[in-house]
Amino acid sequence: MKHTFKIFIILVFCKTLTVNCFSQNEIDQKAIIQTKYTADPAPMVYNDTIFLYTSHDEDDAEGFKMINWLLYTSTDMVNWTEHGAVASLKDFSWARQDNGAWAVQCIERNGKFYLYCPMHGNGIGVLVSDSPYGPFKDPLGKRLIETDHIWNDIDPSPFIDDDGQAYLYWGNPDVYYVKLNEDMISISGEVVKEPSKPKNYQEGPWIWKRKGHYYLAYASTCCPEGIGYAMSNSPTGPWEYKGMIVDASELTRGNHPGIIEYKGKSYCFGHSYDLLKQSTSTFYERRSVDADEIIYNADGTIQNHHYWSVEGPKQIETLNPFKRNEAETIAWSEGVKTDKSSQVGVYVTQIQSGDYIQVKGVDFGKGTKAFEINAASMTGGRIQIRLDDKEGTSIGTCEIANTGGWDSWKLFKTKISNVKGVHDLFFVFDGDANQENVFNLDYWKFFK
């Protein structure tokens, strides 16, 4: 995230040079989340699942308009399931503001999950839960971090070293750190302003350790920002600048790194404006999370990416269609949005005729005969089920009738052509072209 002054400079510069900053004839990489604008990715690996916490740019944001934090999960790096907002500014009684829910990060310790949350201009708080899905609660009722430069207290990044000592890092335009006690909600000693701030550091520190090396990744240069990194032999520095993981370019503008190792591979998450640029060349603060595999050299340094690759991460494992799959499990979509209710949780909505959802790498095994989906509608419509492309082979059509209400849910079933092996699955939606929403979708399942 940015200082207020930096925000002003960016907006003035980019509104003056709109075409140079934000127009793009072709989007290079498909953002991994499309149903909402997301930024500041904070991935965490727990129990063989990636938990991706993000900040959330509202659909009508022009500057930064951010009031809550979202959660997505994946086990294959391509299909992501939304779980909705897991925390918001309202969870902090002392943060009397209606904007400023900037970059968070979650970490697990002793079976509890600690979500470190900055509120722009209000310091850094911490929320605790017994589950990575929440609910998260404020155990302190006050700020955890509040320095003399409270506007700089953003982008917290927790790290637990092999000896059990925990640290919290944060800061723009400098790097700060402090030791955390084992309870993870109190500090030990004084806040340190890192004297060896690496070259081009702006904000968004992300700390990890790999094969004896400590790494500090961060939003680098401004503006635009890429993702730079430094290395050290200690979690407290000194830090030596090593280069760029993702180059700064006019394609990215801002950035925020999140680095994980998962099932034998390493990944870097960041964000861009690529999703926004599909609909407009005007600059707004409506960002979208991207991800890519990263490769380490023999000496521990990281190979450079000029930008997020066209192909993105490779799918790690196939998806099982014979179990309940949430409709909001998506590799790519166009047009649709998501919402959340107490009745069914997160569901897909704002579905118009011609919209579609893609689910990658679905393993139909030796064959399948039927399909069902839980839907609600006031108008009715149909779902064309296709393979490998939006206009690919049709294996069936599921008719969705009027259920009598947008929250009146009913199962709809249809027979389908026998399908074998692994395919990308496309749900292509059809209905009254004049309707803003044809139906809502909860979950789906195939039958052998």
| Confidence class for position 197, pLDDT limits 50, 70, 90 | very high
Higher pLDDT, 149 or 405: 405
Q: Strand pairing of 226-232 and 213-220? A: antiparallel
Report the SS3 class of residue 323. coil
CA distances for 302 relative to 72, 101, 292, 308, angstroms? 26, 31, 13, 15
| pLDDT of 90 | 96
Report the SS3 class of residue 312. coil
Q: Are 73 and 91 in contact (CB under 8 A)?
A: no
Residue 161 — φ and ψ, nearest 5°? Answer: -80, 170
Mean pLDDT calculated for residue range 262-269 = 98
| pLDDT of 313 | 95
Mean pLDDT calculated for residue range 233-254 = 92
Give the least confident one: 17-26, 84-93, 361-370: 17-26
CA distances for 319 relative to 77, 78, 444, angstroms? 11, 10, 13
Measured distance between the N- and C-terminal CA atoms of the chain, rounded to whole angstroms: 49
The tally of CA atoms less than 13 A away on the side-chain side of residue 392 is 14
Tokens at residue 25, please?
Answer: 């004839």
Residue type, 437: N
Beta-carbon contacts of residue 102 (< 8 Å; ≥ 6 apart): 1, 40, 55, 64, 66, 118, 119, 120, 154, 155
Mean pLDDT calculated for residue range 270-296 = 94
Mean pLDDT calculated for residue range 320-327 = 98
Q: Please state, rounded to an integer, the average pLDDT across all residues of the chain.
A: 92
d(CA 221, CA 380): 51
| Confidence class for position 29, pLDDT limits 50, 70, 90 | low
pLDDT over threshold 70, residue 20: no
Q: Which domains does the chain have, with CATH numbers?
A: 4-294 (2.115.10.20), 325-447 (2.60.120.260)
Mean pLDDT calculated for residue range 194-222 = 96
Any idea which residue has 């790290």 for tokens? Answer: 159
d(CA 351, CA 207): 40
- CA max distance for the chain: 66
Which pLDDT tens digit goes with each residue over 357-411? 999 999 999 999 999 999 999 999 999 999 999 999 999 999 999 999 999 999 9
pLDDT over threshold 60, residue 59: yes
Q: Are 352 and 437 in contact (CB under 8 A)?
A: yes
| pLDDT of 422 | 98
The tally of CA atoms less than 13 A away on the side-chain side of residue 418 is 2
Could you give the percent of the chain with pLDDT greater than 70? 94
Q: Are 207 and 169 in contact (CB under 8 A)?
A: yes
d(CA 130, CA 265): 28
CA distances for 9 relative to 14, 56, 62, angstroms? 8, 22, 14
| Confidence class for position 311, pLDDT limits 50, 70, 90 | confident
| pLDDT of 28 | 53
Tokens at residue 158, please?
Answer: 């927790």
CA-closest candidate to residue 426, choices 324, 326, 328, 331: 331
pLDDT over threshold 60, residue 427: yes
Which pLDDT tens digit goes with each residue over 335-353? 999 999 999 999 999 999 9
Give the least confident one: 148-162, 244-258, 424-438: 244-258
CA-closest candidate to residue 50, choices 67, 71, 74, 29: 74
Higher pLDDT, 252 or 31: 31
CA-closest candidate to residue 107, choices 169, 151, 163: 169
CA-closest candidate to residue 288, choices 78, 11, 105, 34: 34
- Cis peptide leading into 398, omega within 30 of 0? no
| Confidence class for position 257, pLDDT limits 50, 70, 90 | very high
